[in-house]
Amino acid sequence: GGGSLTVNGNAQDAVGDTMNGGSIVVRGSVGDTAGYAMRGGEIYVQGNAGYRAGIHMKAYQDQQPVIVIGGRAGSFLGEYQAGGTILVLGLHTDGKPAAGYFPCTGQHGGRVIFRGDVSAIRFPDQVTPHPPTEEETALLRPLVERWCALFGGDAEALMDGPFTVVTPDSKNPYRQMYAAN
């Protein structure tokens, strides 16, 4: 459930702050902290996202929050992410990496998926970048298709990737830092 909102242009900071459901479609770019602590719903951004998109994002009961960014994201993408999916398509980035500095810092759940070359992105030691599994490919396909339906584009061409999925490293979890003694 939840309502839907379309912004025909750019949106400022904190789009979808603590969002629980519904959808937000931005026909432009968003400022900093898009999807802050969101627990459900979907945010689709045609352009770029500022710093700290998806910070503290978490799944809640059966809800899996989603952010799809058409361009690139600023630094600290998915910081302290606990659940849900962030997909960065990396379109029209003028040769810049799809994310700024320190993506996935403190990530202890969920996944961040990048389309394109991620060799210029430095990930923290506590996460594992890997090619998508069949299950992860099945998860990202409808997100790519929905983004293309909203903003135009060839979903099949985008699905050619390459994609990189970043998930917390279960051998070295951040969770231990936050556990009560």
3-state helix/strand/coil string of 43-67: EEECCCECCCCCCCCCCECCECCEE
Residue 167, in any domain of the structure = yes
pLDDT, one tens digit per residue, over 71-86 is: 999 999 999 999 999 9
Spatial separation of the C-alpha atoms in residues 66 and 131, rounded to whole Å: 19
Q: Whole-prediction pTM value?
A: 0.92
CATH number of the domain to which 16 belongs: 2.160.20.60
Residue 181, in any domain of the structure = no
Q: What 3-state class would DSSP assign to 151?
A: helix
Domain span holding position 18: 4-176
11 and 27 in contact (C-beta within 8 Å)? no
Which of 16-25, 46-55, 163-172 shows the lowest per-residue confidence on average (mean pLDDT)? 163-172
Is the pLDDT confidence value at 39 over 90? yes
Stated as kind and residue range, the H or E segment containing 164 is: strand 163-168
Residue 27, in any domain of the structure = yes
Domain count, the chain: 1
pLDDT tier, 179 (very low <50, low <70, confident <90, very high otherwise): very low
- pLDDT, residue 169, reads 84
- pLDDT, residue 153, reads 93
